[in-house]
Amino acid sequence: MDLYYLRWAVSVAQKARQHGNLPFGAVLVDKNGGLLLEAESTVITERDCTGHAETNLMREATARYSPEILRTCTLYASTEPCPMCSGAIYWGAVGRVVFALGEDQLREMIGPNTEHDALVLSCREVFARGLLHTVAVEGPVDLPEAREVHSGFW
């Protein structure tokens, strides 16, 4: 099931790219494997630096679902959540995160790039600082399509 939803997150990242945004996507899945939400990056089209896929997803998720439900959910991301998104995931109480492309792998692919300034801090490091609950993390997961969605973009 993890690979299925990771591929779904990458397909959402492809949609974001087609819509003129950064190629990042995320999906939220409940404990029974049902898709609850999907979100893409809207940084460029909305002119919103906080419009990352995971943060967009968490805004909607916390409006719709209780922390008790979110603790049992998994967020799948096409690329490792940044520190801002990791904070939103933590505060939203999501219990598990699975990502395809690691932030370090993305930086390696695109090299120095002023369009992708990153805070170099893994999601694991952010989640480890939480005092209220834990967030299980799996990733990076090797998916060629997670790299392909960035090919030629940067």
| Active site residues per annotation | 54
CA distance 103 to 105: 5
Residue 2 neighbours by CB under 8 Å, 6+ apart:
74, 76, 98, 138, 141
Do residues 11 and 23 touch, judged by C-beta distance below 8 A? no
Contact 75, 27 (CB under 8 A): yes
Cβ-contact 72, 65 below 8 angstroms: no
Q: Which residues, 6+ apart, have CB-to-CB distance to 115 below 8 Å?
A: 154
> Cα torsion at 123, 128, 133, 137 (round to 10°)?
40
DSSP state of 100: E
